[in-house]
Amino acid sequence: MPDFFCPGSDILKNAVPCEYPCPQCGYGVEIFSNEMKRKCPQCGFIIFRELDLGCAAWCKSAKECLGETLYKKVTQKKDI
């Protein structure tokens, strides 16, 4: 069971899987669109899902979901 779900998403209807290679061992790790991170089952490394501005631009839970520091970094990128 993942350790974090986006509070602004409908987990059952909108979750989409995407595979990310583990930067440490190369194993393909499936992370759903409503998850921020997942532990690699092969080596234990924590892989974070790639972020874009996406929902951070409009979701009222974005600050809670991303955390203050990451929220500021992600939302500042839209001005670049």
Strands (E), 1-80: 17-21, 28-32, 37-39, 46-48
What is residue 74's predicted lDDT score, i.e. its pLDDT? Answer: 73
What is residue 21's predicted lDDT score, i.e. its pLDDT? Answer: 94
Give average pLDDT by consecutive 10-residue segment, the chain, 80 residues: 58 74 95 86 90 69 80 64
Where do the structural domains in the chain lie, given as residue ranges?
1-49, 51-80
What is residue 43's predicted lDDT score, i.e. its pLDDT? Answer: 97
Cα–Cα distance measured from residue 56 to residue 72, given in angstroms and rounded to the nearest whole number:
10
Structure tokens at 52: 């874009």
What is residue 8's predicted lDDT score, i.e. its pLDDT? Answer: 62
What is residue 79's predicted lDDT score, i.e. its pLDDT? Answer: 43
What is residue 76's predicted lDDT score, i.e. its pLDDT? Answer: 73
CA distances from 12 to 17, 30, 47, 51, 69 (A): 12, 16, 22, 21, 28
Backbone φ and ψ of 52, nearest 5°: -130, 180
